[in-house]
Amino acid sequence: MSTRTLTVLRRSAESIDAKTPAHRDRAVDGLRALALLAVPTGHWLLGGFTLDSAGLHNASPLSSFGFFAPLSWVLQMLGVFFLVGGYASVLSYRRSTGRGESTGRWLRGRVARLGRPVLGVTAVWAALIPLLYALGVPGTTLRTGSTLVIQPLWFVGVYTVITVLTPYCVLASERLGAWAAAPLLAVVAAVDFLRYGPYAEAMPSWLSLLNLLPGWMFAYQLGVSWGEKRLGRRGAWLLLAGGAALFAVLLLAFHYPASMVGVPGEARTNSHPPSLLVLALAAAQSGAAILLRDRIGALLQRPALWAPVVVINLSAMTILCWHQTAMFSAAASGALLGSVPGLTAAPDTLGWVAARLLWLPVFAALLIGIGRYARKFEAPWQTGTRASQVRRAVAGLLAAGFAVFALGLA
């Protein structure tokens, strides 16, 4: 990198730092950026493909290398994401109501910010699928790509529902303090006992879905209590120690799957919907995040470290919605050449792992390129005109069509 480029980057970082308000909580933004980056990193490292005459199929190196499971403990940072989400939401909610705004208006604003990028990526994919098929891309490959795209979007849907419940999280925190998350943990523990315990064979298959909301709401409720100053360092130490102990017991004594993400071919999964092991990890991560807050905040006083955090946070939904498209676009192009190590070759050798590491910068570059155009979906849409209403209706219809295709309903 040339001296001139370094000078431009340094000045840009200093400019971003100078424009940052003094009251900005840099540590929380840093934690959010770290959790955000863990999503594409995890998907790019633990998601692979196989190629046959029908096209590309999804695969995972975890099927061949179980010893990689501990890597998922680090890359599965949704607990931290929900923690800082709850923290930021309650502060935003308090500021909004303090200005005299209604709860409904606050909720509509939050939901719109989450929904616009999702509608954008699904509408674009819906328009691309028939075009790509006409150009000769196999239908199997297109279904594989649509499955990849829709995988992270479930998270946005759950996060949206939990955001809508923020006022109730605030009430729970006011009444129970830091213990407001404990009932959520108890619900997940009870469901896990029923679906994995001595009565497992008599339980209906849908029972696990009862964990979906309380499982992911656990860390969000901790974040609300943290933002309300009802969760401090003593509680953080308890979360860290208790979460780590519970995690170890569930792994060693109750034989929960070691991977925090689903492994093809395995009967049990920790993440869809979340098991008690996910909450144990979220508790430990949340405790560590709260304890490290001051240190992280001090580090992010440096412009060179703070500037990337700002950029990542400004592009949060773009990263979540489009990172799988970046990886898929590379794989679909590579499929034209046949079996490419680390890309379209089966992820069943250590050579694949080494090759995949070399592909990560390519995926990142593709995501940056896509993001230059996709970022517009995060901006508020024009309203009040007939043309804008038509555009939103068309986008909604396209998004619905993509969902039907991606979920295998058509």
Query: Residue 195, SS3?
Result: helix
Query: Residue 203, SS3?
Result: coil
- pLDDT at 265 exceeding the cut of 80: no
Quote the percentage of the chain above a pLDDT of 90.
70
On whether residue 268 sits in a domain, the answer given is: yes
User: Does residue 120 contact residue 395 with C-beta atoms inside 8 Å?
Assistant: yes
Task: Report the alpha-carbon distance of residue 57 to residue 49 in Å, rounded.
Answer: 5
**Average pLDDT score over residue span 327-331:** 96
On whether residue 7 sits in a domain, the answer given is: no
Angle between helices 182-196 and 276-291 (to 10 degrees): 150
**Is residue 378 very low, low, confident or very high in pLDDT (cuts 50, 70, 90)?**
confident
Q: Which of 203-212, 263-272, 305-314 has the lowest mean pLDDT?
A: 263-272
301 burial level (CB within 10 Å; 0-12, 13-18, 19+): exposed
The number of domains in the chain is: 1
Q: Which amino acid is at 98?
A: G
What does the pLDDT read at residue 409?
Answer: 66
CA-based end-to-end distance of the chain: 50
Task: Report the alpha-carbon distance of residue 146 to residue 125 in Å, rounded.
Answer: 8
Instruction: Render pLDDT for 127-163 as a digit per residue (tens, 0 to 9).
Output: 999 999 999 999 999 999 999 998 888 888 899 999 9
**Is residue 391 very low, low, confident or very high in pLDDT (cuts 50, 70, 90)?**
confident
Consecutive H or E run containing 95: helix 78-98
Consecutive H or E run containing 279: helix 276-291
Tokens representing 391 are 């555009």
Q: Does residue 170 or residue 112 have the better pLDDT?
A: 170
- pLDDT at 381 exceeding the cut of 80: no
**Average pLDDT score over residue span 164-168:** 96
- pLDDT at 204 exceeding the cut of 80: yes
What does the mean pLDDT of the chain come to? 91
On whether residue 117 sits in a domain, the answer given is: yes
On whether residue 63 sits in a domain, the answer given is: yes
What does the pLDDT read at residue 390?
Answer: 82
Q: Which of 106-115, 290-299, 371-380 has the lowest mean pLDDT?
A: 371-380
On whether residue 16 sits in a domain, the answer given is: no
Domain that holds residue 129: 27-37+57-406
Quote the percentage of the chain above a pLDDT of 70.
98
Tokens representing 12 are 């840009």
On whether residue 95 sits in a domain, the answer given is: yes
What does the pLDDT read at residue 303?
Answer: 94
On whether residue 212 sits in a domain, the answer given is: yes
What does the pLDDT read at residue 403?
Answer: 85
353 burial level (CB within 10 Å; 0-12, 13-18, 19+): middle
On whether residue 365 sits in a domain, the answer given is: yes
What does the pLDDT read at residue 181?
Answer: 97
Does the pTM exceed 0.85?
yes
Q: Which of 4-13, 178-187, 221-230, 332-341 has the lowest mean pLDDT?
A: 4-13
